[in-house]
Amino acid sequence: MKNLRFRTEKFRPCIFLLLFLLIGGGELLLLASNAGLQKETTAAQKNKRPNRPNRLIREKSPYLLQHAYNPVDWFPWGEEAFKKARSENKLIFLSIGYSTCFWCHQMERDVFEQEELAELMNRYFVSIKVDREERPDVDRVYMSALLAMTGNGGWPMSMFLTPDLKPFYGATYIPPDQFRSFIDKIHEVWKTKPENILEPSLKITEALKLEATTEGERIKLERSILTRAFDQIKQTYDKEYAGFGPGPKFPRPVRFNFLLRYYARFGEQEALRMTLETLRKMGESGMYDHLGGGFHRYSVDGQWRVPHFEKMLYDQAQLVRSYLDAYQITRDEFYATIARQTLDYLTREMSGKEGGFYSAEDAESVVDSHQPEKKQEGGFYLWTRDEIERALGQEDAKIFAYAYGVNPDGNALEDPHGVFVGKNILYLAHSITDTAKEFKKSPEDVKQLLDASRSRLFAARSKRPRPMLDDKILVSWNGLVISAFAHAAQVLGNPGYLESAQRTASYLLDKLYDPQTKRLLRRYRAGEARHDANLDDYAFLTAGLLDLYEAALDVRWLKIAVELTEQQNALFYDEKQGGFFDATGKDATLLFRTKENYDGAEPSGNSIATLNLLRLAQMTGDQKLSEMADRTLAMFSGRLNELPGEMPQMLAALDYHFDKPKQIIIAGQRGKDDTEKMLREAHARYIPNKIILLADGGAGQEFLSRHLPFIQSVKMRSGKATAYICENYTCKLPTTDLEVMAKQLVGK
């Protein structure tokens, strides 16, 4: 579960007054502060699920289909549900979650599968289920309400609405006994004193609308904001275990994006050190899958030892970029290895047969194939000492156990759900060097033994029931994956990575993009493309295509990025105040349009869109794009000044705004040895604020010249690939010499 924060206290008193009327102060404080962290308080009744499915059976979302046989009479978000609520004057219970959410599963078991509670829900409410990953626009509206009411948020989100969709109370997970008491009382108030619900719900909604549409304070943006953000982040750094804060610890790659840019701009070694130490700790930790590659969602403890075991596509894609950036700076093979293994995991487990990448793998999995209804957190990944000995033999198991922290009694530092007793979570407890000393072997022999042991354990683990796979394909997250593979192709020089990036881009454009209208849809699954794309989809895919152009230097990707940006600006840009709305505003069921600015587990659409505009302004010479980026930065300037550490990806865009990006233009032919050597030189070092263009003497150069007339004059010298290193298209002397090019890249 993810905790979120809200900064407005304007209307919380009216909510608390309402809740005191409904359930009394004691229960209010419990629900408001701890609802998302409550464990099951009563033993789950035996499941008496009816054979008849509810309306969710017609949906494609894996999350909605998980609830298709609940006894709750669920509706999907839509007019059928809204009409029923209005015609029968019923309140709405809105439940928002996603398929790999542990507490969503828990609430289903504790509440939605229980016949008695379901019967009351069906009698009192119109119950609606929403997959937040399919409908982030709906999620953002009601998450804004939940954060305003309680100060915290997460999933499952449990919201109570009036028949016209206005929220009046919200929580996350609600235990079954409290849920029963609460819905009885809320139903009684609705029938006897509906004004006690209607009046506060109207005030809440109006306050949220005002919050969403009020222009924030604007200040002059100066470089000192970057330093203030760095100082804020540094204060939270854990010097003992790395990472930020005491725990639970989330990866949050957007923070690394800012810190490495800060290092590149100011030479601040502390920014680099915090990033490298954290990435190393994560790669050695229990949060990393040492057998199959890829990262779990977060660590429940402060030492990176005990993960929450779900694997999300957006984490893998962003962390690959972080580890590749670290490798570019340090040339330490550790970081490249983690990136490669994570990309291997994505290719092996998360890639669709036709193309595209799936969304997530669940934290829970079946432990005993004879009892498929019983699942356990981390079951697929955990090991007993005996299981390891059976797979490796006693001698090899002894060495492996020393290296990876395996104990006969288990090694979990924390056991939030009481499921890790006697089980081991693999983490790198001792280095190869230390392990070699302990067993009086050479480091080379130990490395070979551990490599072979991991392969054997991976084969043994592959026979276990895998966690549930959410196989829907989302444009936004796949845009992040395109960026990861394209960046890997540049940094690691593997043509297979470039093929994966191009295949994914082609798949998305084939399944979810209409080249006539230039419109995107958000989700593809089981032959169905559905739901209007939101800002994140346009922005993340555009960023992926820009990275793909710089990796492949095929101008078609740049052309589509320009088309998507034009459509994005038409659909989402706020001409009055600047910045981008998250949704188009064409869905009348949404109470208001949000402008997300928090860079959390995923970057905000506004942050990525701003950086895209700045990059495209450099690539096309279109100053209107640069002006839109500047207005967006100005729109969020007050927030950046107040709490810059909450917007690290927007700070990355601000860093680009302050810079004079390097324009690296290669005159040459793709595939020719001299051209490829120059491109490898350009990709060899960490230069975050740059663009790469290819003057190929053909269609690509012709397209670029239409936007940047200067490019027409860029030609090879003496028939050799030639580098033009420029700022504001004022270039150093063209060179065919790699050593001269390298010096120009570092400013000499």
Over the stretch 150-189, which tens digit does the pLDDT of each residue have?
998 999 999 999 999 999 999 999 999 999 999 999 999 9
Of 423, 450, 470, the one marking the end of a domain is: 470
Please indicate, yes or no, if residue 407 is contained in any of the structural domains: yes
Burial 640-656 (b: 16+ CB within 10 A, else e): bbebbbbbbbbbbbbbb
Residue 517's pLDDT band (boundaries 50, 70, 90)? very high
Please indicate, yes or no, if residue 520 is contained in any of the structural domains: no
Q: What is the reported pLDDT for 43? A: 33
SS3 content of the chain, % helix, strand, coil (to 5): 50, 10, 35
Over the stretch 611-641, which tens digit does the pLDDT of each residue have?
999 999 999 999 999 999 999 999 999 999 9
On whether both 345 and 384 belong to a single domain, the answer is: yes
On whether both 31 and 136 belong to a single domain, the answer is: yes
Q: Between 25 and 298, whose confidence is greater?
A: 298
On whether both 205 and 250 belong to a single domain, the answer is: no
State which residues form the domain around 315: 242-470
On whether both 206 and 273 belong to a single domain, the answer is: no
**Quick check: 46 pLDDT over 80?**
no
Alpha-carbon distance 263 to 328, whole Å?
13
C-alpha 228: how far from its chain's center?
Answer: 25
Q: What is the reported pLDDT for 344? A: 98
Over the stretch 278-292, which tens digit does the pLDDT of each residue have?
999 999 999 999 999
On whether both 208 and 329 belong to a single domain, the answer is: no
Please indicate, yes or no, if residue 367 is contained in any of the structural domains: yes
Residue 21's pLDDT band (boundaries 50, 70, 90)? very low
Please indicate, yes or no, if residue 422 is contained in any of the structural domains: yes
By C-alpha distance, which of 691, 679, 684, 676 is closest to 325?
A: 684
Of 470, 502, 529, the one marking the end of a domain is: 470
Please indicate, yes or no, if residue 433 is contained in any of the structural domains: yes
- Please, which residues bridge with residue 129 across strands? 76, 95
**Quick check: 493 pLDDT over 90?**
yes
By C-alpha distance, which of 623, 614, 625 is closest to 650?
A: 614
On whether both 265 and 203 belong to a single domain, the answer is: no
**Quick check: 730 pLDDT over 60?**
yes
Q: Are 489 and 551 in contact (CB under 8 A)?
A: yes
Amino acid type, 315: D
**Quick check: 466 pLDDT over 70?**
yes
Ranges 10-19, 121-130, 623-632: which has the least confidence: 10-19
Residue 215's pLDDT band (boundaries 50, 70, 90)? confident
Q: What is the reported pLDDT for 113? A: 97
Residue 368's pLDDT band (boundaries 50, 70, 90)? confident
Over the stretch 387-399, which tens digit does the pLDDT of each residue have?
999 999 999 999 9
Please indicate, yes or no, if residue 203 is contained in any of the structural domains: yes
Question: Which distant-in-sequence residues (6+ apart) come within 8 Å of 254 by Cβ?
Answer: 318, 599, 600, 603, 607, 648, 649, 652
Alpha-carbon distance 286 to 307, whole Å?
6
Q: What is the reported pLDDT for 216? A: 76
Q: What is the reported pLDDT for 552? A: 97
Q: Report the pLDDT averaged over residues 545-565.
A: 98
Q: What is the reported pLDDT for 467? A: 97
Q: Report the pLDDT averaged over residues 310-328.
A: 98
On whether both 172 and 284 belong to a single domain, the answer is: no
On whether both 115 and 250 belong to a single domain, the answer is: no
Residue 473's pLDDT band (boundaries 50, 70, 90)? very high
On whether both 120 and 21 belong to a single domain, the answer is: yes
Ranges 44-53, 468-477, 628-637: which has the least confidence: 44-53
**Quick check: 247 pLDDT over 90?**
no
Please indicate, yes or no, if residue 652 is contained in any of the structural domains: no
Residue 263's pLDDT band (boundaries 50, 70, 90)? very high
Tokens (6 digits) for 213: 């549409």
User: In which residue are the tokens 């065919």 written?
Assistant: 736
Q: What is the reported pLDDT for 34? A: 35
Domain CATH code at residue 700: 3.40.30
On whether both 90 and 170 belong to a single domain, the answer is: yes
Q: What is the reported pLDDT for 748? A: 60
Q: Report the pLDDT averaged over residues 341-349.
A: 98
Tokens (6 digits) for 506: 């082609």
Q: What is the reported pLDDT for 51? A: 66
Residue 213's pLDDT band (boundaries 50, 70, 90)? confident
Query: CA angle 514-520-522, nearest 5°?
Result: 135
Residue 243's pLDDT band (boundaries 50, 70, 90)? very high
On whether both 161 and 288 belong to a single domain, the answer is: no
- Average pLDDT value for the chain: 92
**Quick check: 480 pLDDT over 70?**
yes
Q: Report the pLDDT averaged over residues 312-335.
A: 98
Q: Between 87 and 49, whose confidence is greater?
A: 87
Domain CATH code at residue 186: 3.40.30.10
Q: What is the reported pLDDT for 372? A: 81
Q: What is the reported pLDDT for 163? A: 98
Number of domains in the chain: 3
On whether both 207 and 323 belong to a single domain, the answer is: no
Of 428, 450, 470, the one marking the end of a domain is: 470
Question: Which distant-in-sequence residues (6+ apart) come within 8 Å of 606 by Cβ?
Answer: 535, 579, 580, 595, 596, 597, 632, 636, 650
The sign one gets for the Cα dihedral 7, 9, 15, 20 is: positive
Residue 42's pLDDT band (boundaries 50, 70, 90)? very low
Please indicate, yes or no, if residue 594 is contained in any of the structural domains: no
Q: Are 69 and 54 in contact (CB under 8 A)?
A: yes
Q: What is the reported pLDDT for 33? A: 33
Is 211 in a helix, a strand, or coil? helix
Q: Are 118 and 85 in contact (CB under 8 A)?
A: no
